[in-house]
Amino acid sequence: MVLVVIERDRNGLSGMVIANPLQVKAIAQAHVKTDKIDAGTLASLQAAGYLPQIWTPDAATER
């Protein structure tokens, strides 16, 4: 399972965050699970700066 949060501004897509699903306990332990509720939880965590993200290498590291 991959959790993706897409940030949007008035002009469209402004960024994308790939969250670590093993660390997002708010979703895993929820009693009511729907896509709409999970999306709201991810958006709230991202807005508060609490969404655990995966590490992504920069271009130099990928070489």
Q: Give the Cα separation of 13 and 33 in Å (integer).
A: 26
- Rounded distance between C-alpha atoms, residue 20 and residue 35, angstroms: 17
Q: Grade residue 58 by pLDDT with cuts at 50, 70 and 90.
A: confident
- Closest listed residue to residue 20, CA positions, set 35, 36, 1, 43: 1
Query: Is the pTM higher than 0.75?
Result: no
List, for residues 1-17, the tens digit of each pLDDT value: 556 666 666 666 567 77
* Cβ-based neighbours of 13, under 8 Å, separated by 6 or more: 6, 7
